[in-house]
Amino acid sequence: MSTEPFERVAERFELELYGGVFERRYRKLRPEVEAMPWGTLSAGRLSEQQLLAARKAWTGAAFQEHRTGIACCATLRALLEARAPLDLIALAARFPLDELVHVELCARMAMELGGGTEILYDPLDVVVDASSDRTPLARAAELIVRFFCVGEALSIPLLRGTWRAARHPLPRAVLGCIVRDEAAHGTFGFTFLDWALPQLTAEERAILGPAADQAITAVRRLWSDIRNRPTTDRAPVDGDALAFMETEAYLTLAARAMDEKVLRPLRARGIALREFPDGAQRELRSG
Ligand SMILES: [Fe+2]
Ligand SMILES: [Fe+2]
């Protein structure tokens, strides 16, 4: 029998705006969203199957951005609890708003194509929090490694590749905005680590490798799912920018990004990964 006072049921991923003065204030914070060429996407030349694949891809992207927003908030709290440098925290305080904007952009792209598709999820089980038995600084470092040094660091080259593949002005504007924001997110993790690592004990540093491994494994699983998917289930490359994320070119870029933006920088900081257990001692494989 469950010990929780309520039943944990899957909820539908749906969004709303409150509107009025609150929406106007939000719009003022990020005026570029309304300036995008909404209403110009014609889905007419897509088959029903292709359209559904595109709607699914953008809805999935909106959900991923929502997850990242929660990850940014969890990290932000840990940074405050760890009393990280105020200017670093202030920079990270912008990230949740950025992610909310990305959620809206991706959700609106799905709407442009006919509407979002159904995603059921447990809102209380979106991200894994830091180990509870660690100091505030070690907890912040753990979350930074998992969410920023892996996920966010990877997102810069991958989103830039997706943005380059976009032809239509609307997805180009949407992805261009996301790419600009992500540039700051993607480098933040290593900036924080360079400040935090000298203050961590050897034992605290040792948990960062497995934390990174966990995030790396999750990302690799996602990529192998894409690779094994039959091509008939993939979105059309011309019809939707996100379809680039299901091509061989994307997977090649992804493997390179993992090496250059994640594995090498972590290893250079002496973090022992499953793939490079001896820290910075060994030469890296190339390619
Ligand atoms: Fe994002
Ligand atoms: Fe981000």
Ligand 1 center to 269 CA (angstroms): 25
The number of the ligand nearest the C-alpha atom of 154 reads 2
Q: Quick one: tokens of 175? A: 């992805």
Q: What token pair was written down for 66?
A: 């929502």
Instruction: Quickly state the pLDDT bin for 238 (edges 50, 70, 90).
Output: very low
- Residue pLDDT, tens place only, 245-258: 777 888 899 999 99
Residue with tokens 């929090």: 129
Using the mean position of ligand 1's atoms as its centre, give its distance from the Cα of residue 64 in Å.
8
Confidence of residue 191 (pLDDT cuts 50, 70, 90): very high
146: pLDDT confidence band, cut at 50, 70 and 90?
Answer: very high
User: What gap in Å lies between CA 123 and CA 67, rounded to an integer?
Assistant: 10
Residue written as token pair 């094994």: 228
Higher per-residue pLDDT: 269 or 284: 269
The pLDDT confidence band at residue 76, using thresholds 50, 70 and 90, is very high
Q: Which residues contact 141 (CB under 8 A, 6 or more apart)?
A: 192, 193, 196, 197, 200, 204, 208
Q: Mean pLDDT for the chain?
A: 89
Q: State the distance from the centre of ligand 2 to the C-alpha of 245, rounded, in angstroms.
A: 17
216 alpha carbon to ligand 2 midpoint, in Å?
A: 16
pLDDT-based confidence at residue 109 (cuts at 50, 70, 90): very high
Q: How does residue 286 score in pLDDT terms, banded at 50, 70 and 90?
A: very low
Residue 92 has pLDDT above 90, yes or no: yes
**What CA–CA distance (Å, rounded) separates 212 from 16?**
34
| Residue 3 Cα to ligand 2 middle (Å) | 35
Query: Which ligand lies nearest to the CA atom of residue 65 in the structure?
Result: 1
Query: Phi and psi dihedrals of 209, rounded to 5?
Result: -60, -55
Mean pLDDT of 83-112: 97
Q: Which ligand is nearest to the CA of 100?
A: 1
* Residue of 215 and 284 predicted with greater confidence: 215
Render pLDDT for 14-55 as a digit per residue (tens, 0 to 9). 999 999 999 999 999 999 999 999 999 877 777 888 888 888
Q: How far is the CA of 202 from the centre of ligand 1 (A)?
A: 32
- Which CA distances in Å does 236 have to 45, 123, 145, 193, 245? 11, 31, 34, 40, 11
Section 263-268 average pLDDT: 95
Distance 1 CA to ligand 2 centre (A): 38
Q: How confident is the model at residue 151 (pLDDT cuts 50, 70, 90)?
A: very high
Please tell me the predicted confidence (pLDDT) of residue 234.
55
* Residue 235 confidence (pLDDT) above 60: no
Ligand 2 centroid to Cα of residue 202, in Å, is 29
The whole-number pLDDT of residue 2 equals 56
Angle CA 14–168–249, to nearest 5: 85
Q: How far is the CA of 187 from the centre of ligand 2 (A)?
A: 10
Give residue 168's pLDDT: 87
- Neighbouring CB atoms inside 10 A of 59's CB total 22
- pLDDT, greater one: 37 or 9: 37
Q: Is the pLDDT of residue 66 over 70?
A: yes
In the structure, ligand 2 is a single-atom ion and the residues with CB under 5 Å from it are 182, 185
How many whole angstroms separate alpha carbon 246 and alpha carbon 242? 8
Residue 64's nearest CA partner among 103, 14, 98, 33 is: 103
How many whole angstroms from 47 Cα to the centroid of ligand 2?
Answer: 32
**What's the CA-to-centroid distance between 145 and ligand 2, angstroms?**
14
